[in-house]
Structure 1
Amino acid sequence: MANPVYGKKAAQSRNAEKIPDSLWVLVIGFILFLFWAPFQVGLFNGQQTDYEKPIYLAVLLGCLMLFFWVALYYKRFKLEDQRDLLAVAVLLLPLTYFLSLFVAASHYMAMNMLLIQSMYAAVFIVSLYLLRQKQVNVIIQTAVLTVAYLIVWFGLMNWLGAWNVAGGLIGWFSNTVRGGKYLDAVLYDTNLGPRLTSIFQYANTYAGFLMAFLLVAIFALIRSKKAHGALINGFMLVPIIVSLLLTLSRGGLVMLPVAFVLLLLFEKPARQILWIIYLIIAGIASLAVISPVTKIGQRLSLVPDPSAAVKGWAYLLITSAVTAVLCWAVQRFAAPRLEASLGRGADRRFANLWLPIGATVLVALAAYLLIGTSVRSILPDNIEARLENINFQQHSVLERFTFYKDALKVVKDYPILGAGGGGWAALYEKYQNNPYTSRQAHNFFLQYLIEVGILGFIVFMGFILYVFYKYIRGFIKQKDKDDYENGFFYLILTLSILLHSVLDFNMSYVFMGLLVFIGLAGMAAVMDAKPLAVKWNSSGLRLGYMALACIGAAAVLIVSLRYIGSANAAADAKAIAQISQSYEEIKAPLIKTLKNRPSHPESVIILSSMDNQVYSQNKNEQFAAESLAVLTRGLKDEPNNKQMLKQLIALYDLQGKPDEAYAVYRDNADKYKWDIEWYEPLITRSFDLGNQAFTQKDSTKEQQYFETGLAAYEHVVAGVAYLKTLPAGQMQGRPFAVTPAIALSAGKMQLMTGKTADAAATLKQGLSDDYNDTANREVTRYYLAALQKDGQQDQGVYDKLIQADAAEKAKIEEIVAAQY
């Protein structure tokens, strides 16, 4: 029986080639890793510590696979051709992350990314040699496709009310199942309602995944020569397209036709027609059921309804079955005739260009109908609204352009080695154009450039472009059609994910990164590779490479084991905190965590918070000293961690050290220039300390505090004015405005420095109509006093204030009479 991906020819080659017994353990381990990874290895953004341990486990497994590969290949490994050099070159990728450690904005995130990149390198090396054997290639392709299909059904189970079944299937080994339900497999958006995310917990990345495997499924269908292969892959087309639509991802819908047309360029006209036919069949079938499936899923997200769930499954499964039969019929009867009738002209020059050009026209027409006309009304309301908003003035588009511009600012300051892994997440608030919140740059390539600088980016782009170039060049020559079609599976996968990653942060998901590096290895394994000079194959170089790989893997293995212990201890501390208030019980695992990772952010923050709390109760300096030591050590590696800085400020406040607390706000203000919660205390503390210096007749300090506070106030005013210039479609982000507290403190400082007109204008910004509010009365009082000092008045406001509290009259006169 032929494999559903390959077909007859591959099945014949599979029978002729046997996997050596010694490789079976590695092949099985690799496949089990593929099935384990998607439900364990989630998003890495430097903050989601729940995903630490699975990532470190994945790194450990990657190292173990590499050790096993070395044990199997150390005698057979030869540097014979350019493919073998890629096994050497891939080690440069983690090396560039190692170099960036020396200038990393966050040591914690940089180390995590170094481990992840090391795992990618290990997986690439193992995949490169496993996939050279056709029989193993068959098995691994089937495994990858099976995993993808399981992820699709897992998502749909959560959408159509079977979340308890889905959670039960993986809850025994996944840490992302809570109360029997997978976390955010269907994520609720306040503006759009439920969005399907499956294992990714982020709809846009799931859309990128679906886009890739929709195209892989069509390719697998076209290659299928047996009925079961055509039926299986044809059956999956509707669930994938329906899932893609349920993500409500505009990026996925925009990039799908781009990837589709690019891939058509590689195919002969007969196959191009088949690609188009299958996509049209599946597309029409999906549109026929998307509305009821959407509405049923929306209902099930609110209330359980078994009858509605059964109806939803019936729509989906029946439509998928009909599509599968139609695709099988086309593959069985039409495909051979197309191959025969169009085969003669397939080798003509530009023969494979006409259909992609026509497909581009059809895509443009379909886009116009769905975006610019009422045809989109056939879709559910939420999908219709998303399509209607596809334009360059839409807020998500404008925000992405802003991210990209801000990313280049970071690159300018960290040009050569970059800012280390997680550099954008650590630094973006310092460089952001407006107060958005995004720990991802929404462009993988720019984010990579930020992390490793120009040097690392050149190495990475050189590596992947070389693989693409060599594979495509060999594919065009078609020396071994079956080999290059095997590689085409991986080309589709890698190209699709990387294309979508131009618009989003797919590669921040470790599983997506694994797919890309497996895909690169799949292309490299069959690429047209020139033999190397004999000197490359010297025993010294070969053994040196093996030794280097083993030393590197051993170092990564040791670090990952230590970090697993650290992650376990941190998890224990959080678990104990849920059931106990004992300081000593919670502290013990935190100390263990910080022994292995002194700057582990979450543990530093929890322990310092506990020490601060105990110190506030008993004033025992031992706890204050420990809190300061923990925070000082943490901030050495994490100087941009806002929560650590706030804990340090809280400690200084408890110790009665207002100058030290104020200095933290002042010295770090440039890191958080759009955080009004940072600037408000900076300005209010500037006034408090300046007023204290005035009372003590220390004019030098008074001037310093007031200058800093007023400069911070001008920064806020300038920022508020700038935000008004943002394009109409772009959202501002977090609140950023002159708050009543800022207006009061800045107005007082201006008043005390003789700028009465400025003080009145500033204080006016903090006024409200609630004269029963004590804080508002104080702002109003100083506002009226500033006006009087400037020879003006606001009789309406004055009358309302006095009516609320007659005592305010004397207080105003006292301020007017004060000598500053």
Structure 2
Amino acid sequence: MRLGRKKRLKEERKIVSTEKAVFQDKTSNERNILSYIIYAGLLLLLFYPPYFRGLFFDRELLPTHIYSGILFLLWMMYKGTTLKETEFFRSPIDYAALAVVGAYFISLFVSVNLRYAVGELLKYINYFIVYYLVSDIARRERDKRIILWAMVLSAAGVAFAGIGAAAGTVNYPGAFVGGRINSTLQYPNTLAAYLTAALMLGFGLQVTSEKLWQKTVLAAVNYTLFLAFIFALSRAAWLMFPVFYLILIVGIPGSYKMKVIGYSLQTFAAGIFASPGFDSGITGGETSKVWLWYVAGLIFAVVVFYIFEKLSERITVRIKPVTLISAFVILTIIAGTAAYIALTTEKPLTLAHGPDEPESWKTSWYTVGNVKPDTEYVLKVTVSTRPGLEQDRWGGAVLIKSVDKNNKETDIKSEFFNKALDHQLIEIPFKSLKDTAKLRIGFANNFPGTSATFSNAEIFEANDKAAGRRIILAYKYIPEAVAQRLSSISFGEFSFQGRLSFYRDALKIIKEHPILGMGGGGWKSAYFAYQSYRYFTTEVHSFFLQLMVETGIIGLIAFLAIPVLIIRNLVINKTDDPARGAVNWAVFSSATALLGHSAVDFNLSLAAVAIYLWALFGLAAADGMTATQTAKRRKPATGSYAVWVAGGITLLFIVGSGMLYSGYSYGQEAVQALQSGDIAGAMEAFEKASKYDPLTASFKADLSQIYDIIAEQGKNKELKDKAVKLREEAAAMEPYNANLKSLLAEIYLREGRLEEGLSLLEEAARLNPYNMNVWETLAEGYEKVAEVYIAKNQADMAKELLGKCVDIPSKIIELNRKSPQSDPGVVKLSATKNLMLYLTKAEKLSESPNRETVKKLKDLVFAADFSIDLNEDGRPDLWDVWGEGEIKIDPDRFASIKPAGESDVTLYLAEGINLEPNEPYEVELEADVLKGGYKIDVIADNSEVFNLSADKGEFVTPNDIEGKDTRIRVFVNPKSDVYLRGFLVYKK
């Protein structure tokens, strides 16, 4: 029975194959000039997107929508008139692909930002268009291969541009930053994922190409892709690459397994061969050396390929399983030996800046684990340095940081080498902290015309030199950039823990909006309200989580149906043609690579990469369409107008994209007018921008501010009312936008709508709680409105607001405590000068809510409350603390300071204050001295302006103080016991 089923399936496949071949010939014969124009247009659509910043921005994306729409419209016309095909849907994958578009359409009705939601809908319509065109046009294997060539060559161009940027030859913004190749996609992780996908296609094409010149070109192309992939320095991509490569190897038809292994090993060997010299050229800023090693690797790749290809033509060996296993074991031993040599052979670490190279930190960091806390250590290293000609331009530095169990870093020691050294052995003693779990040791160079070479680094406990641990600073056979990235792979590492925080916060949104999501752009519209600490990212860094945030479980199911159905087609429509099967599997492996990496990054937020993926979906779907399914589309119309309906919707897509692009263009014109001081021109441009793109709230908000300025100048009530209405519309359009709430609150408060204004400021704080600006604005609002109530003799209402104001620190402390302790990227909120000023005013007013106090506080220009420690780091906010001693913060009361030993403790204002020239000021320190004493001074650019040893004093600022860095210092004398409460500066 089972044999009969297999035989029947084999016969069905043969019939289907024959029918498809006959139909393909008919379709080919019916091609006309329009079809070739569309074909060429599709190839262009698949080729150019990566070169325009990945189509991440509207400037490049919206014109692409228009272009795609025109192509699709032409294809619909061609289908309906020339091919006489009236059926729109051809396979279950079509329904799944359109369902994703449908999910984004439905999410419009629950979106929190309609403009973003429409933008995402347009993107997915574009992706569907790409999918449909590719799957419908690739009806022959030849068409499929041409499309694949276009995609691979496009990726090769991107890789080549990145290599050129690394060499300094190609000048493309953001193509090479921080020693990493970003190329035209401007993001290294996405570049690495994109090149991985392209490499899978390259291998698939190479093993199935019949012409030697094509294989040779692909050998060069694959080497270029791999070299750029390495120097994108994406750790996640490196870790995932073996998995995707294994998928390609395991699934490719047996007759091509050895070929793809052979070709890929040649590519890897060429990339590894060129990497050390290539890296050395980049590090040294030597353009010619970078190109020399690239070309050397290219020649290596082509020559090795050619030799093996010719040998394989002359020698046909029937490989037995035992021989294959033996060869695998030998290769494994060789690879293991090579890896051991590469990982144990070291060389000195050299960091240098050329004479004309701008000043920048070049630092190599190394992690040392299993460090004992509160223990004396010594770092021993051999150093050679060439400092700069100018004073303080040191040649090299060693930086030592303590890392606690939560991956928080604290500086322990910094050693700078200002003199020329020649292989001098340096010992650097230091002591780990009480919470030290591991160390981060950095070797640095910073200034033009300087260099530093470090070698023989070793760390040991001060009382046990025999138990030293070697630190390999540089590997002889591994590029320095690669070694540094490999050594930093850790679950506790900054970017990994940061992603986990993004994912946790995304899950909060999904939990609240599980079915339909928050609409396209939901994450970047609302994430501030859900974040667990202050970070900035418009993307979740996980495609699947972002998809759920935007479209809920509906969108996720619709999208996952596409790869599931493609896998089903691969299983059911298994071809007897090994070459075709190899190409199909390469397409599947490529799509898997993109999706796999996108699970932990935002690659698919770049429309160019998403287009690449949906083109792969189209190629996979094309192979799954049988001739019978395709032929059905040619039957006479029986009331089905799907093709023409699709054409009509496409027209709307084109017009809508065109209108949004016009709005964008006028918006840019308005910004330029504002920058040049042309208020009238900016107003006219913003009015046009709002007309063509009425969904963008920022256009209305910006226009309202212009109306407000003009209305204030001319006392124009009508224009003032327009400004208020526009701000109300803008705030309503983006309910999660705290800035728009604050902007509307500003105008409400100015007009005397006090309760409404404060309510909006409170809502802004709820929507963006980890933004200190909203707390500053809220504190100011409470204090200013309280002044209004005091002027109206409504002291009770004033006290209520003042109580809310002084309660702000407790709310911020609670937020800080909720932040994830394991994420090294967490920076806890601390008080700012403005917040401290309004908190102090509120406290003084709540003690004496009268007009005299209001009058006096109008002259208060700076205030510090030493009992406020929002980030709970044991130091008063606003102040850096120098010297050793005991500091205790008693919230809402004081800071107790007791210097240790014979040294004093200095509180140094961390940020400068602005004082007007030639004006009298009064300084007041609220303190209780139990023992000893203190001294106060005010300095401007490190020169003393005023000093005081009492609790009050007056001074007049010098004429040249404006623009200078003005700071305050409080010195607590040795053996003192002082309680500090507040520091006030009044303008007399």
Same fold (TM over 0.5): yes
Native 8 Å contact 2:517 2:549 kept in 1: yes
SS in 1 for 2:180: strand
Count of aligned pairs between the two proteins? 748
Shift of 1:278: 3.3
Which stretch of the first structure deviates more once superposed, 136-145 or 447-456? 136-145
Q: Which residue of 1 aligns with 2:564?
A: 465
Shift of 1:25: 1.9
CA deviations 1:477-503 (Å, max 9, x no partner) are 333434333323422321111111112
Q: Which residue of 2 aligns with 1:639?
A: 735
CA distance in 2, matches of 1:656, 1:368: 76
Shift of 1:60: 1.6
Q: Which residue of 1 aligns with 2:306?
A: 328
Shift of 1:731: 1.2
Shift of 1:253: 1.0
Q: Which residue of 1 aligns with 2:821?
A: 726
Counterpart code for 2:580? D
Native 8 Å contact 1:470 1:529 kept in 2: no
Counterpart code for 1:409? K
Shift of 1:714: 1.5
Shift of 1:782: 8.2
Native 8 Å contact 1:235 1:323 kept in 2: yes
Native 8 Å contact 2:274 2:296 kept in 1: no
Mapping of residues 710-721 of structure 1, within 5 Å: 710-721=806-817
CA distance in 2, matches of 1:216, 1:595: 45
Identity of aligned residues (%): 19
Q: Which residue of 2 aligns with 1:174?
A: none
Shift of 1:446: 0.7
Does 2:68 correspond to 1:62? yes
Which stretch of the first structure deviates more once superposed, 202-211 or 311-320? 311-320
Of 726, 729, 736, the residue aligned with 2:829 is 736
Structure 1 residues 637 and 561, CA gap change in structure 2 (3 angstroms)? same
Shift of 1:754: 7.8
Of 616, 627, 633, the residue aligned with 2:723 is 627
CA distance in 2, matches of 1:410, 1:73: 43
Q: Which residue of 2 aligns with 1:411?
A: 510
Structure 1 residues 546 and 751, CA gap change in structure 2 (3 angstroms)? same
Q: Which residue of 2 aligns with 1:115?
A: 122
Counterpart code for 1:221? Q
CA distance in 2, matches of 1:814, 1:113: 52
Native 8 Å contact 1:294 1:380 kept in 2: yes
Counterpart code for 1:157? G
Native 8 Å contact 2:107 2:551 kept in 1: yes
Q: Which residue of 2 aligns with 1:430?
A: 529
Structure 1 residues 315 and 694, CA gap change in structure 2 (3 angstroms)? same
CA distance in 2, matches of 1:205, 1:144: 16
Structure 1 residues 652 and 19, CA gap change in structure 2 (3 angstroms)? farther
Does 2:867 correspond to 1:761? yes
Q: Which residue of 2 aligns with 1:21?
A: 31
Native 8 Å contact 1:14 1:135 kept in 2: no
CA distance in 1, matches of 2:748, 2:734: 19
Q: Which residue of 1 aligns with 2:493?
A: 394
Q: Which residue of 2 aligns with 1:421?
A: 520
Shift of 1:747: 5.6
Shift of 1:470: 1.8
CA distance in 2, matches of 1:382, 1:569: 44
Shift of 1:151: 1.6
Shift of 1:571: 2.9
Which stretch of the first structure deviates more once superposed, 663-672 or 569-578? 569-578
TM-score (norm 1): 0.80
Native 8 Å contact 1:767 1:779 kept in 2: no
Shift of 1:796: 4.2
Shift of 1:743: 4.2
Which has the bigger relative contact order, CA under 8 A and spacing at least 6?
1
Structure 1 residues 740 and 38, CA gap change in structure 2 (3 angstroms)? closer
Does 2:219 correspond to 1:73? no
Q: Which residue of 1 aligns with 2:860?
A: none
Native 8 Å contact 1:760 1:783 kept in 2: no
- For the aligned residues, what is the CA RMSD? 4.4
Mapping of residues 57-456 of structure 1, within 5 Å: 57-74=63-80, 76=83, 83-163=90-170, 181-186=171-176, 188=177, 193-268=178-253, 271-300=256-285, 308-334=286-312, 340-341=318-319, 378-456=477-555
Structure with the higher helix share, 1 or 2:
1
Structure 1 residue runs of 5 or longer lacking an equivalent are 1-12, 45-50, 164-180, 301-307
Shift of 1:426: 0.8
TM-score (norm 2): 0.68
Counterpart code for 2:821? L
Native 8 Å contact 2:534 2:771 kept in 1: yes
CA distance in 1, matches of 2:630, 2:61: 39
CA distance in 1, matches of 2:265, 2:225: 14
CA distance in 2, matches of 1:607, 1:19: 58
CA distance in 1, matches of 2:789, 2:314: 91
Mapping of residues 698-709 of structure 1, within 5 Å: 698-709=794-805
SS in 1 for 2:514: coil
Native 8 Å contact 2:666 2:689 kept in 1: yes
Shift of 1:449: 0.9
Mapping of residues 536-555 of structure 1, within 5 Å: 543-555=640-652
Native 8 Å contact 1:195 1:246 kept in 2: yes
CA distance in 2, matches of 1:471, 1:360: 36
CA deviations 1:138-177 (Å, max 9, x no partner) are 32122222212222222222222322xxxxxxxxxxxxxx
CA deviations 1:412-449 (Å, max 9, x no partner) are 11111111111111111111121111111111111111
CA distance in 2, matches of 1:765, 1:128: 65
Does 2:512 correspond to 1:502? no
Q: Which residue of 2 aligns with 1:177?
A: none
CA distance in 1, matches of 2:558, 2:689: 35
Native 8 Å contact 2:203 2:260 kept in 1: yes
Structure 1 residues 316 and 773, CA gap change in structure 2 (3 angstroms)? closer
Counterpart code for 1:182? Y
Counterpart code for 2:668? A
Counterpart code for 1:419? M
Counterpart code for 1:55? L
Native 8 Å contact 1:92 1:459 kept in 2: yes
CA distance in 2, matches of 1:744, 1:634: 31
CA deviations 1:507-533 (Å, max 9, x no partner) are 011111111111001011112759679
Shift of 1:795: 7.5
Native 8 Å contact 2:200 2:589 kept in 1: yes
Which stretch of the first structure deviates more once superposed, 31-40 or 17-26? 17-26
Native 8 Å contact 1:257 1:363 kept in 2: no
Structure with the higher strand share, 1 or 2:
2
Shift of 1:365: 11
Of 653, 676, 698, the residue aligned with 2:772 is 676
Native 8 Å contact 1:19 1:135 kept in 2: no
CA distance in 1, matches of 2:86, 2:310: 44
Structure 1 residues 737 and 369, CA gap change in structure 2 (3 angstroms)? farther
Mapping of residues 579-598 of structure 1, within 5 Å: 580-598=676-694
Shift of 1:749: 4.8
CA distance in 2, matches of 1:781, 1:415: 56
Structure 1 residues 407 and 123, CA gap change in structure 2 (3 angstroms)? same
Q: Which residue of 1 aligns with 2:450?
A: none
Native 8 Å contact 1:689 1:702 kept in 2: yes
CA distance in 1, matches of 2:666, 2:228: 38
Counterpart code for 1:207? A
Which stretch of the first structure deviates more once superposed, 503-512 or 700-709? 700-709
CA distance in 2, matches of 1:815, 1:393: 40
Native 8 Å contact 2:62 2:661 kept in 1: yes
